[in-house]
Amino acid sequence: MSHWSESTQERAREIIDLYPQKRSAVMPLLYLAMAEEGHLTETGMEEVARWCEITPAQVLSVASFYTMYKRERTGKYLISCCTSISCMLLGGDEVMHAVEDESGVPHGETDEEGLLSVEHAECIGACGGAPAVQVNYELIEGVTPDKARDLVTWLKKARPVVVNTDEMQELFGGRRSFDWAIPETDGAIGPFPAFQPLGTVESEGGE
């Protein structure tokens, strides 16, 4: 007896079929559970446990390790500011403070409206373009505190349906680590984007 929609269940079946053992599907299924309810709930994790034939405790053990599994409701836009070593040396903390200050949302929290969530992130793999920021996991490199404020204001005002790296890099970014060559057209919709390859989130902007 599943709490999930028929299409989510269908997707779950497809994902599980990819693995020789059901339990191996725990991570993609967690994204499904997240997409189903907007964040990861206890019911969602129990559901994943049933699908993977493991205990809810084992599911939570995985889910609580990764910061990208959100166990609390997140805003439409999730702003992640890198504060690991490279970014920190080039002013990541200041960028982080600017974002917190401009949005009024401290680390780990979401504004009342449900629009913005702010978090600091460990290295997001863009050290060459430090300091780096992500919105819904779409990357912007070479961000300054001022640009970060602009970013927050833009998100509040423009409220784009889809955020996309190229556009945001153009508007708020600085020096890039290298040219990523393949321009991204799809971008990501909030709150849990970036996993289109697994089909866990439908793209709205693509068609």
Partner 1 sequence: MTSGQPEFVTITIDGREHQVLSGEMLITAAEDSGTYIPRFCWHPRMTPVGMCRVCIVEVDTGRGPALIPACMNPVSDGMVVATQSDVTKKAQEAVLEFLLANHPLDCPVCDKGGECPLQDQALSHGPGESRFVEIKRNYEKPIPISDLVLLDRERCILCDRCTRFSREISGDPLIEFFDRGNKTQVNTFPDHPFASYFSGNTVQLCPVGALTAGPYRFRARPWDLLKVVSSSLFDTAHPRIEVHASQNEIVRYTGVDNDATNHGWLSDKARFGFEYIHSEDRLGAPLVRRKGVYEATDWAEAIDVAADRLGLIRDESGGDALAVIGGAHGTNEDAYALSKFARVALGTNNVDCRLGDSLSSHFLAGTVDRATIGQLDDADTILVWGPDLKEEHPTLYLRVRRAAQELGAELVVVHPRATGLDDVAFRKLTYRPGEGFDLVQALDDGRYPDVIEALDADNVVALIGIASHADGPHVAEAVAALVRARRGRSDLLPLNSRANTYGALDMGLAPDLLPGRVGVSQEGVGRLRDHWGEVPSVPGRDTAGILEGLISGEIRGLLLVGADPVRDFPIPALAEEALEAAEWVVAIDLFITDSTRHAEVILPAETFTEKEGTVTNVEGRVQKLNNIRPGPGQTRPDWAMLDDLAHRIGAPLGLSSAEAISKEISTVAPAYVGVSWDLLEWEARDGVVVPLEGESQLAHIPVAVATDGKRENGLSLHVARTMYDDGVRLRHSPSLSRLALGPVVLVNPLDATALDAVPGDSLRLVTVSGEGRFEMVVDEGTPAGTVYVPFNQPGATALGIDSAVEAEVADA
Q: What's the min distance (Å) between Cβ of 42 and partner 1?
A: 6
In sequence order, what DSSP letters do the residues of 125-137 get, joined into one string? S-GGG-S-EEETT
Answer yes or no whether residue 20 interacts with partner 1 by CB under 8 A. Answer: no
12's tokens: 């779950």
Q: What's the min distance (Å) between Cβ of 199 and ligand FES?
A: 27
Considering only residues 62 to 81 of the shown chain, the ones binding partner 1 according to CB under 8 A are 64-65
Which residue, 57 or 182, is less far from partner 1 as judged by CB? 57
Contact indicator for 78, 107 with CB cutoff of 8 Å: no
CA distance 41 to 141: 32
Binding-site string for partner 1 from residue 30 to residue 49, where x marks contact by CB under 8 A and - marks none? ------------x--xx---
CA distance 184 to 102: 28
Contact indicator for 183, 138 with CB cutoff of 8 Å: no
Answer yes or no whether residue 58 interacts with partner 1 by CB under 8 A. Answer: yes
Question: Which amino acid, residue 17?
Answer: D
Answer yes or no whether residue 55 interacts with partner 1 by CB under 8 A. Answer: yes
* Contact set with ligand FES (CB under 6 A): 82, 84-87, 123-127, 130, 132
Contact indicator for 188, 197 with CB cutoff of 8 Å: no
> Which of the ranges 32-40, 60-68, 112-120, 188-196 carries the binding residues for partner 1, by CB under 8 A?
60-68
In sequence order, what DSSP letters do the residues of 68-85 get, joined into one string? TS-SS---SEEEEEE-SH
193's tokens: 């984007």
**Among the listed residues 3, 9, 38, 56, the single contact to partner 1 using CB under 8 A:** 56
Answer yes or no whether residue 7 interacts with partner 1 by CB under 8 A. Answer: no
Point out which residues bind partner 1 (CB under 8 A).
Answer: 1, 42, 45-46, 53-61, 64-65
